[in-house]
Amino acid sequence: MLHEQPETFAGTLVEPRAALTAADPEAATILAREERRQREGLTLIPSENHAFPQIRAMLGSVFADKYAEGLPGRRYYGGAAHVDEIEDLARARAKALFGAEHANVQPLSGSPMNQAVYFGLLEPGDTILAMDLSHGGHLTHGAPVSAMGKLFRFIRYGTRPGGSFDMDEIRAVARRERPKLVITGFSSYPRDIDYAAFRQVADEVGALAMADVSHVGGLIAGKALANPFDSGFDIVTTTTHKTLRGPRGGLILCKAAHARAIDQAVFPGLQGGPHMDHVAALAVALKLIDTDAYRAHARQVLVNAKALAGALTARGATLVTGGTDNHLMVVDVAASFGVDGAEAQARFDRVGLVANKQVVPDDDRPAMRPSGLRLGTPAVTTRGMTAAEMDGLAELIVATITQARPETELRAQVQALAHRFPIPA
């Protein structure tokens, strides 16, 4: 038996789960294993989180059955009255929460989200100034291995040894290369960004300014970090899971002047019908985020990250940039403990901790065995942990990396901590 008692969700018996078990016990068993892994382990990957429980109600709803090519009021299929309502609700909530003039809630994930901006506002071959992948940028910001890196001319900037940006150098590069778009944003950069400084660089060369805040979108919506629109940015993109705790997808926010180009780049440019169950779930997430409780949660994510960074440093860990201003940190495990990131990640897996290997700036190791390990506090904060738990968590992290105690003992400690702080609902 997978479940001794029927599961409930919001007080209602979940009949589809029983149907799944009866129809496909093999798949249901794998699902149960994943549930157990998440329940008994601790997620420290900064791009992973536990969605609001209410999100699953929409993801499992009849909205999943509806095609909705087009935009509200301009669909290519009939029967669209209610998908129009839910998409309009999601768009209105997104605009209000981020202070944007326009929102497109249809991108299926982060990569097509950013691609829609490029194709909507630029021409192939145009120059884009963006952050180097090894210094914290993202694949879609022009990494040579990405499709966008082949279609557009990306010029990349990095960070100084201490982790700060040399804005004079970035300005000089922009003046020399004359980009059409200046991007700021990251996937592994642990510091806050001076958006006004990047907006000034864009203005000096007549470029558009875009911020990819996929990692910190929820912290911006929760008023814990600065909003790029307050510095006059033209476009802000964010994935809708991570710190937003919504469904997996993408969200493009922009000034009204770019609305039509962005919308057409999403559909029919890059994709057909949006996943309306995801759009509906995003509408719910945006409502749950616009609360005092969530704003307190966003602040706690940052408090926990700083506490964890300090506790790791005290135990001999070398952190890229020396610390963190946001929800994530990168530990140079090779320099700190003589272990590469892949091995550190494998040791984590065996005890129930989950992190990901990560390149460090100008890493001389291969991408699959890099020098770093990326950690974050969103998921453990969602489980209810506070700064009081970060010292013990840091001890577990270092003991796991260094194999200071038997893995069976470490796994038992991880499970005990996970049981103290269960995943919501």
> Has 324 been annotated as catalytic?
no
What gap in Å lies between CA 231 and CA 237, rounded to an integer?
15
- Residue 135 confidence (pLDDT): 73
Does 248 qualify as catalytic in the annotation? yes
Q: Of these residues, 56, 95, 171, 248, which one is catalytic?
A: 248
Does residue 122 sit in helix, strand or coil?
A: coil
Identify whether the C-beta of residue 254 lies closer than 8 Å to the C-beta of residue 236. yes
Give the annotated binding-site residues for (6S)-5,6,7,8-tetrahydrofolate: 133, 137-139
Nearest residue to 275 (alpha-carbon basis) of 243, 248, 313, 301: 248
245 is catalytic: no
**Which tokens hold the place of 349?**
């897996």
Q: How many of the other CB atoms lie within 10 Å of CB of 401?
A: 25
What is the pLDDT at residue 14? 55
The whole-number pLDDT of residue 147 equals 85
* pLDDT number for residue 188: 84
pLDDT, tens digit (0-9, with 9 covering 90-100), for 36-56: 999 999 999 999 999 999 999
Active-site residue, selected from the candidate residues 67, 153, 287, 395: 67
Residue tagged active-site, from 75, 91, 199, 242: 242
H or E element in which residue 154 lies: strand 153-157
What separation in angstroms does the CA of 52 have from each of 67, 283, 286, 300, 424?
Answer: 25, 12, 11, 17, 8
Contacts of 121 (CB under 8 A, 6+ apart): 180, 181, 208, 235, 258, 261, 262, 265
pTM: 0.93
Question: Active site residue: 212, 234, 340, 363, which one?
Answer: 212
Q: Show binding-site residues.
A: 133, 137-139
Query: Which domains does the chain possess?
Result: 62-289 (3.40.640.10), 292-420 (3.90.1150.10)
Q: Which of 239, 321, 381, 382 is catalytic?
A: 239
pLDDT at position 4: 41
The question of whether 402 is a catalytic residue gets the answer no
Below-70 pLDDT ranges, the chain: 1-14
